Amino acid sequence: MNTYHAHIGGRPFAAEAGAIMTTFAATNAATGAHLADIARCGAAEIDAAVAAARRALPAWKATTYETRSALLNRLADALEAQAPRLARIDAQDIGRRLAETLIDYQIAVAQYRYFAGAILTHEGHGRPIPDGYLIAKREPIGVVGQIIPWNVPAIMVALKVAPALAAGNTIVLKPDENASLSTLEFAAIAARIFPPGVVNVVPGFGEEAGAALTRHPGVAKLAFTGSAEVGRIIGHAGAERLVPVSLELGGKSPNIVFPDIEDIGAVVDNALFAAMYCNGQSCLAGTRLFVHDDIYRPFTEALAGAAARIRVGDPLAADTRLSCLVSERQGARVLDYIGLGKAEGARLLAGGERVRVPGCEAGCFVRPTIFEARNDMRIAQEEIFGPVLSVIRWRDHDAMLREANDVRYGLAAGIYTAGLENAMRTADALEAGSVWINHYFNLNSGSPFGGVKESGIGREHCHETLNLYSHVKSITVQNRVSAPQFVPPGQV
């Protein structure tokens, strides 16, 4: 569409008569072409969305698990049918290659189907008490405010929306201003499946729509994915109003290579994938690669050679393997870090420069960049969010583990080894929410996803996520009225 409004109460939201709608532009990240105008929403639209969600809550809360499951499966079917179109929108909006955004929709569809099944087994519990029974039941929390980033819009929407709806909540979702188009398209699809007001999407900027959503008194829970810095603000807002907050934040994940690996080429490919997928714009990226001294030289030579062969190109081209960063601003940030790495004394093994792609002159394309670095360098400590990998040599296992854990994040980690003892001993010692052995990004439906330390609070992507979006109510039933006792029955 040429213009996208907020989607509130099951339909596009128009401002009051006489009001002037302010918009911001969505542009093609690679070419700079204008894609659409998007409503720049603020407190008024958030108020309307929360009111719509509150009106829809009683009826949606009363639906059966079976009804919610059926509707989530219908949503999955609809998104699967629309995936080629939506993936193309994302490829243009954020600059990632089309082959990757198509995979995003496969992952997203799987999440809706997973939670359509998971909710059917989300029981409470109970047990007998003297002359009666205790019932503990799961109930939805209420209206949930959700804020997502720009890097993988389809997956981010699914990780937030699927469990929240399955648990019986209604939603007000704010997409990132750099990636709102496919989420607003999603809202229109959801409006044809769910009752009005169950799913509301309000685009805008963080300091306007996002701030209004986090402080709104009608929101009963907050869920956020993004930077640790903004996560602190969201957490503080939740603490002020005493509402639960779940946070999925940044990472600087270690990826560890043991000398007993049997196929250097295969591990090189997987380690590059771990660092460069999503153009390196992933909180999960394995951006610190620890390589054992015994194989360091052949491994790094193979790594640099493989990085040099990665084709950088148009996001829509079939042979592209690395495309552009989401914006000129993000590109400048990544290039600044590359300059910082050189200034810190890190040795450049591959890449390190911007690439001009014919027909995509507006986009910021950066070659896959590999540094030989120390763990105490800023490029190895700070989240760059771009195609930059720091390689760190190790020999002593305990010293390597100390360095692997010596960051403020703890989201994910990888291990490559042929030895079970190496794998399990190292996995147990790593401070990370997910550890993948011999296959990075091995995140299947049902695998808990979330971090420790400054990487967040709570787990997504799994059955436990339903507990983040519900609370337990206990009900006791006595068979008959009896006189109260000073000592509870059974405790004499």
**Tokens representing 114?**
């997973």
The CATH number assigned to the domain with range 254-431 reads: 3.40.309.10
Cross-strand bridge partners of residue 248: 225, 456
| pLDDT, tens only, 20-51 | 679 999 999 999 999 999 999 999 999 999 99
| pLDDT, tens only, 354-404 | 999 999 999 999 999 999 999 999 999 999 999 999 999 999 999 999 999
* Interval 225-249 mean pLDDT: 97
Cα 455–Cα 409–Cα 370 angle in degrees, nearest 5: 120
Q: Write the CB contacts of 441 (distance below 8 Å, at least 6 apart in sequence).
A: 273, 274, 277, 284
Band (14; pLDDT cuts 50, 70, 90): confident
CA separation for the pair 135, 391 (Å, rounded)? 54
- What's the gap between Cα 206 and its chain centre? 17
Residue 122 has a pLDDT of: 94
Helical pair 153-166 and 181-191, crossing angle rounded to 10 deg: 30
Residue 341 has a pLDDT of: 98
| pLDDT, tens only, 391-440 | 999 999 999 999 999 999 999 999 999 999 999 999 999 999 999 999 99
**Tokens representing 486?**
């000073």
**Tokens representing 384?**
């760059």
| pLDDT, tens only, 83-119 | 999 999 999 999 999 999 999 999 999 999 999 999 9
CA separation for the pair 392, 294 (Å, rounded)? 13
**Tokens representing 404?**
């692997």
Residue 15 has a pLDDT of: 65
Which CATH fold would you assign to the domain 3-249+460-474?
Aldehyde Dehydrogenase; Chain A, domain 1 (3.40.605)
b vs e for 27-39, b when ≥16 Cβ sit within 10 Å of the residue's Cβ? Answer: bbbbbeeebbbbb
**Three-class SS state of 355:** strand
Q: What is the dihedral of CA 152, 154, 158, 159, to 10 degrees?
A: 0
* Interval 231-235 mean pLDDT: 97
**Tokens representing 261?**
């690996």
Each domain of the chain, given as residue ranges in start order, spans: 3-249+460-474, 254-431
Band (17; pLDDT cuts 50, 70, 90): low
**Three-class SS state of 373:** coil
**Three-class SS state of 171:** strand
Cβ burial, residue 329 (10 Å; 0-12/13-18/19+): exposed
Catalytic residues: 248, 283
